[in-house]
Structure 1
């Protein structure tokens, strides 16, 4: 089993949070003018879309390496549908375009295998349980 720890902490003097995992960080905020948001970072829906698309980009590279395919370019667009109150993500569509260095590369098989192994997409599709615990102060 692999365990990852991701942390978020408010930035003093702002209503913005800084999130990090290892040596990598991201700013999390709301749109400017919404609940104190300053528009300085990604909101939760954008981060969800980035997680889905970013994971899939990585999976394309993993599978390409396994298949011995050299990718020349990858482009992934995530269309995230949100509905209701509270606002919930109800669907996500990935639009994928890629090119290989080799003309004979089976890109359909590569995309299919990446889809089958995508950690984030498969976790969401299977209903990832989320538990909350409040720590002291």
Structure 2
């Protein structure tokens, strides 16, 4: 699966385009009201990625087990320090309702934590490389 994200920002516009294997969709993210940039910060989006990945993976893994999940709620929180410092104390909590026993649901939720791709990407500390810089005249 090939995934990409594109941000285009100017004085009063903020456009986000996401692509997965050729499927393109926009995401509404407001521009910053106090100047140029995005109305949400990267930390918020990172934590949203963790919550979204886990939520989607619960449904995927439940389907593989023949479990019918009725609801998933995920809360992610953590801290950022000074400029350039990575996040720390990142934790998440999940509440879910499903058909089946409490033991089956608990095992599903713990299994999902072990296989959630975004969580595992952060846990592995994957390198991120600035591949190209282009500068245009104003």
Shorter-normalised TM range: 0.7 to 0.9
The reply to whether residue 17 of structure 1 matches residue 1 of structure 2 is no
1:61 to 35, 59, 62: 59
Distance 1:96 1:6 in 2: 27
Distance 2:63 2:94 in 1: 18
Structure 1: any 5+ residue segments left out of the alignment?
none
Counterpart position of 1:110: 108
Structure 2: any 5+ residue segments left out of the alignment?
19-23
2:9–2:36 Cα contact (<8 Å) kept: no
Please list the CA deviations of residues 10-38 of structure 1 after superposition, one character each: whole Å capped at 9, or x if unmatched: 14x32x532111123232655x54xx258
TM-score in terms of structure 1 length: 0.82
Cα shift at 1:87: 4.4
Cα shift at 1:81: 1.6
Structure 1: which 4+ aligned runs deviate by more than 4 Å? none
Cα shift at 1:85: 2.8
Please list the CA deviations of residues 53-86 of structure 1 after superposition, one character each: whole Å capped at 9, or x if unmatched: 1100011011110111101111110012212333
TM-score in terms of structure 2 length: 0.81
Counterpart position of 1:135: 134
Counterpart position of 2:28: 26
How many residue pairs get aligned? The number is: 130
**CA RMSD in angstroms, aligned pairs only:** 2.2
